């Protein structure tokens, strides 16, 4: 049973990687957020199967946040400070409940950074945080046994660099709905 759960977790992680890597190449921020919501949902299942509940809980928060922010950006609306503060509070609350040592701080801190960068109008911040977080996730995923996701984190680094180069200076134009 442990082998089956681990194998299934790795497969789900591979699909999550696909959505996550593709997300940063979206021209519009709402498209990025939609794909990241799907990726976070899959990562939630992966971490549950691996028994890593701090990361699973942060991915649930991220899925919810990405969906709410996606809806706001798709409607071409700003995301209010109230939503930002709500998600910061939620992340700290859920992170405190699931905290089980220094390693569980990694998904909490990364989720806080993702939340703030997703709240900002300019997509460049999402891409920068995405890139930096990918390096930190490599360490975390190694420690918790999410090995296929490490390969994905390496793809995320490459993809993040390419997306930053591709969209450098173009984000303000791309986030304006036509």
Please state, for a pLDDT cut of 70, what percent of the chain lies above it.
93
Q: Answer whether 25's CB lies under 8 Å from 166's CB.
A: yes
Residue range 64-100, pLDDT digits in tens: 998 898 888 888 888 899 999 999 999 999 999 999 9
Confidence of residue 171 (pLDDT cuts 50, 70, 90): low
* CA pair distance 105, 118, nearest whole angstrom: 20
* CA pair distance 78, 121, nearest whole angstrom: 8
* Phi, psi torsion values for 4, nearest 5 degrees: -60, -45
Q: What is the DSSP string of 19-67?
A: HHHHHTT-SSHHHHHHHHHHHHHHHHHHHHHHT-HHHHHHHHHHHHHHH
Spans of all domains in the chain: 2-171
Q: Answer whether 84's CB lies under 8 Å from 114's CB.
A: no
Here the tokens at position 124 are 């460049």
Residue with tokens 């969906």: 67
Cβ count near 89 (within 10 Å): 10
Confidence of residue 2 (pLDDT cuts 50, 70, 90): low
Please state, for a pLDDT cut of 90, what percent of the chain lies above it.
47
Confidence of residue 50 (pLDDT cuts 50, 70, 90): very high
Q: Residue 144: CA atoms inside 13 Å, Cβ hemisphere, count?
A: 31
pTM of the model: 0.81
Residue 108: is its pLDDT beyond 50? yes
Confidence of residue 170 (pLDDT cuts 50, 70, 90): low
Q: Answer whether 33's CB lies under 8 Å from 165's CB.
A: no
Q: What is the pLDDT of residue 175?
A: 47
Looking at residue 120, what DSSP letter applies?
A: S
Q: Answer whether 33's CB lies under 8 Å from 66's CB.
A: yes
Here the tokens at position 155 are 């793809």
């Amino acid at each position: 049973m442990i082998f089956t759960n681990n194998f299934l977790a790795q497969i789900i992680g591979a699909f999550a990687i696909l959505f996550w890597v593709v997300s940063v190449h979206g021209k519009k921020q709402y498209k990025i957020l939609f794909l990241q919501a799907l990726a976070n949902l899959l990562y939630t299942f992966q971490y549950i199967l691996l028994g890593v509940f701090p990361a699973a809980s942060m991915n649930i928060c991220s899925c919810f946040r990405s969906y709410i922010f996606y809806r706001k950006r798709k409607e071409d609306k700003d995301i209010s400070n109230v939503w930002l503060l709500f998600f910061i509070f939620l992340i700290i609350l859920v992170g405190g409940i699931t905290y089980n040592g220094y390693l569980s701080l990694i998904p909490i801190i990364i989720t806080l950074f993702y939340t703030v960068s997703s709240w900002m109008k300019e997509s460049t911040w999402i891409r920068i945080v995405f890139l930096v977080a990918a390096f930190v996730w490599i360490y975390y995923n190694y420690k918790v046994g999410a090995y296929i996701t490490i390969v994905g984190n390496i793809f995320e680094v490459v993809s993040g660099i390419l997306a930053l180069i591709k969209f450098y200076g173009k984000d303000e134009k791309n986030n304006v709905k036509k």
